[in-house]
Structure 1
Amino acid sequence: MTTHRPHTTRESYDTVAADYEKLLRDELANSPFERAMLGVFAERVLDAGGGRVADLGCGPGRITGHLASLGLDICGIDLSPEMIAVARWAHPRLRFDVGTMTALDFEDGSLAGALAWYSTVHTPPAGLPAVFDEFHRVLAPGGLLAMAYKVGDESVHLTHAYGHDLALDVYRFPPELIAELLGDAGFIEAARLVREADGPTATTPQAYVLARKPE
């Protein structure tokens, strides 16, 4: 059985933080599917009256900054202190804090929206229920969750990425499993988009999901 090692994930992202930000800074400009789903997420949160949104596993804040430009009141949370330092440098007008997705520093029902954009890829399937339960806890009734993840049913161990030696387990999930686990946590899936691998930064199919916490 694979064991989740958050300390190893944190250390790896601390190592690559500055180069990661440089390499992926403009990646969203080349990702029309991502922009489309993020746009729908932002529009639906705003149409529901807006409110606080959290980018959970925000990395250097590139998605946080994009959603802020679309009008969301958003903050970022990440396990890696170095990623948070880079995010604060890159987006000085936004708030970023160190935190973990399994113990979020938000009150129950306090968020209008939550984003987990490829931030569950280092969590083994057995660890996802606790993460989804925490997402459900912090969202207000009617709140919206947006997720992106890699599609598949296997894991890959990385020893080198973004120009550095590191140690990261990357998990791919079947969409049916994610839908089932979100349902078990109390979410209703509102939309799902799966796209095929189409480039050097998308070498496997990718999935995007919008899920709602019932009123």
Structure 2
Amino acid sequence: MDEQTIEAYSAGASRFAAEWRDQPPPTDMYALLQRYFTPGGKTADIGCGAGRDVAWLNDHGFPAIGYDAAEGLLAQARTGFPSMVFRRAALPALDAVGRETYDNVLCETVIMHLPPDEVTQACVRLFEILSPMGTLYLSWRVAESVSTRDAAGRLYAGFDAARVRESLGDTEFLLDAEAVNLSSGRRVHRLVARRR
């Protein structure tokens, strides 16, 4: 992950947590998770932020653990959802995940915070933590071809979606589309891929 982005999320963790809490729920994403994820399957939320989606996953039959690179956001998640498990892990390595594999992996609007040269490595790692026939939901905010930073200092990398597709190994793509996220109002690219 981009260190400046991690620092921005940690320093502004309470503000970001409040912003996400006050947004409309991402019902469009949740509908896709219910359609494609394996019910009861072991689930990981990579880049879980303040834990909102981990809570939703656990409440809807997808036993989930949350991973994030920003300690400040993990503190918000642990305070807001004390009965759930949250651990520190950063893409592309995901060292804390180790050799664990998951039936369902959610990675919502995270990879655009990676330096462009780490995006492929991160996608390969997300593929590695999928169980056979496991499902990955991966999305990122659509950016111009040039990487930029916002006022908080967060990196928004520009990269071609083809790089992501090519890095996901032997997968069946169940969804590959751009849409406006109903929660954030931002344009995102969504992929749902099932490991063969």
Q: Could you tell me which residue of structure 1 aligns to residue 164 of structure 2?
A: 178
Residues 1:34 and 2:34 aligned together: no
SS at match of 2:140: strand
Cα deviations across residues 114-157 of structure 1 (Å, max 9, x unaligned)? 11100112113321121112112221111111112112433221
Residues 1:155 and 2:151 aligned together: no
Structure 1 residues 135 and 154: alpha-carbon distance in aligned structure 2, compared to 1, 3 A threshold? same
Percent identity of equivalent pairs: 22
Q: How does 1:1-215 map to 2 (within 5 A)?
A: 6-29=2-25, 31-41=26-36, 44-46=37-39, 50-104=40-94, 105-108=96-99, 110-152=101-143, 153-158=145-150, 160=151, 166-182=152-168, 185-196=169-180, 201-203=184-186, 205-214=187-196
SS at match of 2:65: strand
CA contact (8 A) 1:146 1:211 kept: yes
TM-score, normalising length: structure 1: 0.80
1:191, distance to aligned residue in structure 2 (A): 1.3
Structure 1 residues 112 and 198: alpha-carbon distance in aligned structure 2, compared to 1, 3 A threshold? closer
Bigger relative CO (Cα 8 Å, ≥ 6 apart): 2
1:195, distance to aligned residue in structure 2 (A): 1.5
SS at match of 1:58: coil
Residue 191 of structure 1 aligns to which amino acid in structure 2?
L
CA contact (8 A) 1:17 1:83 kept: yes
Cα deviations across residues 21-74 of structure 1 (Å, max 9, x unaligned)? 111114243x44223223224xx311xxx3321100111011111111111110
Structure 1 runs (4+) greater than 6 angstroms displaced: none
SS at match of 1:45: coil
Residue 25 of structure 1 aligns to which amino acid in structure 2?
R
Residue 9 of structure 2 aligns to which amino acid in structure 1?
Y
After superposition, the CA RMSD in angstroms is: 2.3
Whole-Å separation in 2 of the counterparts to 1:148 and 1:77: 16
SS at match of 2:61: coil
Whole-Å separation in 2 of the counterparts to 1:111 and 1:37: 18
Residue 139 of structure 1 aligns to which amino acid in structure 2?
L
Unaligned runs of 5+ residues in structure 1 are 161-165
SS at match of 1:136: helix
TM-score, normalising length: structure 2: 0.87
Whole-Å separation in 2 of the counterparts to 1:119 and 1:138: 16
SS at match of 2:117: helix
Whole-Å separation in 2 of the counterparts to 1:19 and 1:196: 23
Whole-Å separation in 1 of the counterparts to 2:57 and 2:109: 15
Cα deviations across residues 88-125 of structure 1 (Å, max 9, x unaligned)? 11111110011112222234362111111001121133
Residue 33 of structure 1 aligns to which amino acid in structure 2?
D
